Structure 1
């Protein structure tokens, strides 16, 4: 190296980090990604164990959305965490990840709420209010129109809170370091937050403080069941996915973040985190603990560098960890590829969801020895 040449600055993405009692080898988080590869009974099998073990180099893996009860199932072949067989299946996954050298692994707990169908779960979906899901849904019999859910009674709410706590205990039994409570992307907890899906007039509806009550009750119960140091929470301020219209985002999230901070979960995970938007800066100011930032990436950004530059900027703007999704799909050794500048594989979108088998799932190749050494494809 000549006097005028300088070694590139080391990226903070590859620095070790601490999350509660976990020592993470890097700051890259594999975001939860629904892939529909569980059995029809929601039991993770060997294929899922292989998939996650291939990606064990992530600093933290947040395993895909898993239902805490039967009625919460949103799509066919998504995993659950409410039966002994499902817990045993997930235990095979966590053991495979540890055997591959991974460590930190959380399980996302997701109840679909109105994002569900009787052909899938065998039950009429539950939701804050009887407001039909406005889109079509994949079911075992094909695409179906959304149905009008049953508005949850106070007893339904108490039962669902207890089911989340039970699922969290099952996740720890299965070998997970903790769980992520999914309060984002238009699913049940997010439905309680949004005005267009929560039309209740009782203590769980109306004002922002009332609408945050159910998510806070769930997080409190889960933290009491397994300890707050094992609990994370995912939020998506202002996101309109799955027909959600929050209506007063600027009021909901300051109240929610403050209430969650009082419960001291180990992290908050923000979807579509953008340092150019005021919401991100406010959440970083209000949240006293670890913040995981999940940026929204264009296809061009994913192809160019997998989100590395966006991730580095988020770290410089106060995030503690960065969650990326698509890069991990097509690159089982995504961390190594980002570290060395090696080419990134491309996702085959036709195999992302609502399909089964290894194709487009566990058959993406890892780098060869030459590529790992040089950061270039071999001839």
Structure 2
């Protein structure tokens, strides 16, 4: 995707006044973000509700209305990154952290992608809520059972916001479920801008999450920025021009309250969304790769993990990933959609490995994998 001359400069943030008012809070949030996804399982729920946020000025609302309803430009369509020709690895080195591991890398990877791994990778509350909601009518999105390929880029930004914060694993997922589904349905920037910051606060209050006031302000500011289609288009251009590095930098510069960790989470998840894989895949951040290694699959980097996915996955062992999207869940995407299938497997495996470590169930998963395929 060629860069337009008129868009060569960094897109102007629509919520400058908001960002200026909360500059100190923003910097503090980015520091806290560094401990978000790895150390968030020690956080407790906040017992008392925070005061409701003040209503936004009418002038700011008028600026946002000018962008509402505009058609969003598409994600990257012509990636500049060549597909890896690296041969898949057939084995894995032994890690000192997993000495005595009863399962082989092949057993671990196939078990991780199977529905049998879900209780080891996600909180029971998340799985129960997702199962109950998915059995009803209508669409329902959740972190654990919805394929990341079915989220929109903006929904992935919302997920990154909540996953990067120092919240408990269960609390982050509950917040995602609450914001993206009934009665709030905050799936687009326009939905959030139209609802207002107070309504975002109410959604976070319903999720009983922490830091509600601050997070509502940041998410509303992000929606204001991305209600302008040019901001998402610029993010897509950064993906094409500079890959994950450009995406992470752009997210840091255009999303209030997010830093490098949030950008890494976004890049990790969005790479399996249609059109983005050409520019980003395979990408794995350091925390996700550390989780894969800690489980017992000692890969060097993202391309090494891609090789493991392509070389070790056996669908007679996986059977079903347990996702809502049945074709992806059963590995049935073929032909032109085969690459999307592998990309989804890649991201799901990373997310589950990280979730397993956050849940503190690495040893249990290794034992279960060995028993399942013995």
Normalised TM-score (structure 2)? 0.27
Higher relative contact order (CA 8 A, sep 6+): 2
Normalised TM-score (structure 1)? 0.27
Compare the two structures and name the one with the higher helix fraction: 2
Compare the two structures and name the one with the higher strand fraction: 1
